[in-house]
A = this chain, B = another copy of it.
Amino acid sequence: MIPLPRIDPPLINASGILSYPEVFTAFESAGACLGGYVTKSVGPREKPGNDNPVVVYPPDGAVLNSLALPTQSAEDWERDLEEIKLKKAKLIVSVYGGDSLEFAEVTGRMSRFSDAIEVNLGCPNKEPGEQTIMESIGQNPALSAEVIERVRGETDKPVIAKLSPNSDYLAVAESCMNAGADALGCGNTLGPGLAVDIRSRAAILAGTTGGISGPALKPVNLRMTYEAYARFRCPIVAYGGIETWEDAVEYILAGASVLGIGTAFMRKSTHEAAALTREIWEGIQEYLDGEPMSAIIGAAHRSAEGGGSHA
């Protein structure tokens, strides 16, 4: 297995959040405490994604998005990534395609720019008429394995298989790990969910339904992280509702070694968002109190084994 690059601090943005290289540079210049940046998922061909509205945020911590993977062409992404000038943060390129060949093609083009490749197996959004990746590939262990195998053939960088919480993810993860994945991404958005406007009686999102992110997702992706760590003891990049250092520590104790932040940046200016990343990292460090982070990764498992029964 190829180890993940050293991501220090072990905080990154989530794919599809911030998205573009120049935004990463702005975050770096604003002093964001992110040891790595993940691009928007790069697809093979230009695609505008769904029309607006693409987000809706009901009260109580759930955000629904139906962006449906807009992308410029892989060639245009190459041009973008040639321009990028990150000072010390690592770059992770997220890739997707309609089938394993497309995943491989995009990976082949992106590999030289990236410190790791994240394979998006779990986006639950689609444009009208499309099948989602989750439906067409991400729920199917065999097809997911085929994707990872082909991606593996196109890159010598570590490969992160990013899973959907809506699938039988342990089965998918198992076949991805066997096919050569080096780490798991736990995970993409939940659902999808629906929001209806009661005055106009219409679904609010143009794409009707949207993947759920934010605090509402945390318990589910935390469990995914916990179960994946118990099964594979591999590096895990965790995503889902991380807003505070306490959230981050919960994920680390469950088994995560890298933490991705997405929805928590909502409504924050670049300087506010950068301050948030610093707060989270400082909180983690205070919690660690000098211990290395590796000492507590998965600690919730050790205590589950050590400590008595459910008396």
Contact = CB atoms under 8 A, between A and B. Distances in A.
A190 B249 CA distance: 23
A151 interface: no
Contact of A250 (B196, B215, B250, B303): B196
A3 interface: no
Contact of A300 (B192, B202, B222, B310): B202
Interface stretch (A14-22, A80-88, A110-118, A206-214): A206-214
Contacts of A226: 194, 196, 203
Contacts of A62: 61, 215-216, 218-219
What is the oligomeric copy number? 2
A287 interface: yes
Contacts of A51: 310-311
A216 B208 CA distance: 18
A203 B50 CA distance: 39
Contacts of A208: 304
A76 interface: no
Contacts of A207: 310
A201 interface: yes
A50 B206 contact: no
Given A62-B215, A253-B198, A310-B206, A223 B192 contact: yes
Interface of A: 50-51, 58-62, 64, 128, 166, 190-196, 198, 200-203, 206-209, 212, 214-216, 218-220, 222-223, 226, 246, 249-250, 253-254, 287, 296, 299-300, 302-304, 307, 310-311
